[in-house]
Structure 1
Amino acid sequence: MQVVRIDPFFKRLFAVVAIGIGLWLIYLLIPVILPFLTAFILAYLLNPIVARLARIMPRWLSILIVYTAIILGFGVLLWWLLPTLWTQIESAWKYFPRLVEWYNSDIRVWVNDNSRFNLPVLESQIVSDTLVEYLNKNYNVADAQSFLMYIMNSGLTVINNTGLVVLVPILTFYFLFNWNERLQTWKAALPATSSKKIIEIARDCDKALMAFIKGQLLVMILLGVVYAVQLQLIGLELGLIIGMVAGIASFVPYLGFGIGFIAAMIAGLFQFGMDWLQLGLIAGAFMVGQAVEGYILQPLLLGDKIGLSPLWVIFAVLAGASLLGFVGMLIALPVSAIINVLFRHAYAAYQNTDWYKGRKQYKLFE
């Protein structure tokens, strides 16, 4: 029987084409894959809690208890937050006339007296009418048919998003329920010669990610409290919500500080006008927050858990933002933690090579 040998070139070409088709199919299926990916990430985050509860009760019951605790927690948070948020939004809405008055009495006078510009006087009603006219002109709000189509499209979007909101918890439940069996299946699929090392690397990545997530959550909560308490003591009416948002946004390095500082300064200008003492206190509050985060919270709660220097942290965030935008900034540090673990294992393997130990001489250039 004659054996037909395929040219290596065609083998490589077939592999490249197959990979290309696979990537193209994945790209087309991104809307379908995203809910499953989101559910898997949520299951990974919730599994440690579910696993502890599953020691004393059935696993399905532990999952339901975790779900109930999350729903009750969000309910209590909204019950406490929404009235406060509504009050502060009303206060923010009242700042608009103050902004117009500050512009007319301070900014306009100063610019007209110290430059060649002659800024006009603004009135709140004129600004509101201008805004409505802009919306009518650019978004066809006055066109009833266009407005109805916009409402219908928005309704379809809401229905789709609601479907995802319902689908993700269901998928998360199934991931959690069969988590251990799925892990055993994946372990059994590993090649016998490399399974021990692969499992070791996976465990190191898991430890780095969990340590980072737990520490980062504590940093976010405590930093939000630090910002909110300081701004409330200063007397900033929007201090509570700005402090909380700054704390949550601190999951991305320097983003929470930037958003909180800009929002607090704008709110301070609306509320206090050009009161340099109050504005200086607001700026000082964020300087204190940065010092607390950099010298107390992160060293104590995160420390060297991800093993990255400040330079690499900044580079990772900027690289993530450049590649994937805001999502890239969110995942930059967790991905960097995994890459750091992989690099450590690769470097350890390199140190065991004959080339590193000098047992063999390799000529790079003839």
Structure 2
Amino acid sequence: MRYRHIAPGLEVSEVGFGNWTVTTGWWGDYSREEAVRLHREAFDHGITFFDTADAYAEGYGEEVLGEALAGVRDDVVIGTKFGYDISDEATVARRGQQERSKDFGLGNVKEALEGSLRRLGVDCIDLWQLHNPRMAHLDDDDLFEYLEEAREAGKIRHYGVALGPKIGWLDEGVHAMRTREVAAVQMIYNLLEQDPGRDLLAVARETDTMMAVRVPHSSGMLEGNLTEDTVFPQGDHRRHRPRSWLVEGVRKIATLDFLTEERTLGQAALRWILADPNVATTLPNIYSIDQIEEFAGAADVPDLAQWELARIQALYAENFGVEPGGEAVAANEHGAPGAVEGDRTNREHADAPLSQALEG
């Protein structure tokens, strides 16, 4: 494994573990024992950055992470998120993929910190992140004053911002980096979905901010295992995507075989992201031991050559030579999946944030 600094005094593995995948049910069902085992396997393969949120199954994600890593706390970096109302009443009121209610009021934020510390079983959170904040939250001086107080009190080491499509995204990310001393910003970014990540990275270089990248494999597309005939099982969020997402994605992948002579496609996708020095870590969707071995092994394969990076950019500029499909709804303006025609729940909540409804 290779390591980078995500903040002063905070070194993380280039490949991290976001436990949304194994604790929320959107990638299938995992028992608590299975989820704990995958966390421990990840650590055994050199992964030291683990990311979760209090909103993942109303604190369950934090509980699993805390149980799995209790014996190695001093050897790992823990990130979690806050800003949603995770009370039972708020959960019951939600429908489908509808975004849960936000609550960045100081009362809720203080309770959220104590709750996260308790569920994680730690005295200090290494990276505490605002979860999909909007502009008003980033402009709340009282909130950021409290974050500084929490840091001075030793309850958090650093704070950052986690961005999600449409619910706090490009404008919010730029604003956070330019107006607040956030240690890190988490965003969705991958070889197939480069915008608005490229703009966020440009500001990160300007402000000397480090980035954590989630969805580096474009919801599994860049793992190279999907075909146009793939049928996703019940409980897999990709089952709700339009067929055009699958067909177009597979055809784009077919243009990337030049990356796989010395690496798997999944490893190449990670090394492409890590070619940017302002990316500290990646958070692939991990749901098996085989994936842990493959993704951790990205540290042992060659970095992408300049000609490979240039070819990817040329392909991206021409949409990888793929004509957009004729599906009624293909994708929203930020690259997040739209509603499936005929699926009432998705149609009502097509604007739900990817990070809540689909991608941690």
**Which bracket does the TM-score occupy, shorter chain normalised?**
under 0.3
- Taking structure 2 as the reference length, the TM-score comes to 0.22
The structure whose residues are more often strand, as a share, is 2
The structure whose residues are more often helix, as a share, is 1
The structure, 1 or 2, with the larger RCO (C-alpha pairs under 8 Å, 6+ apart) is: 2
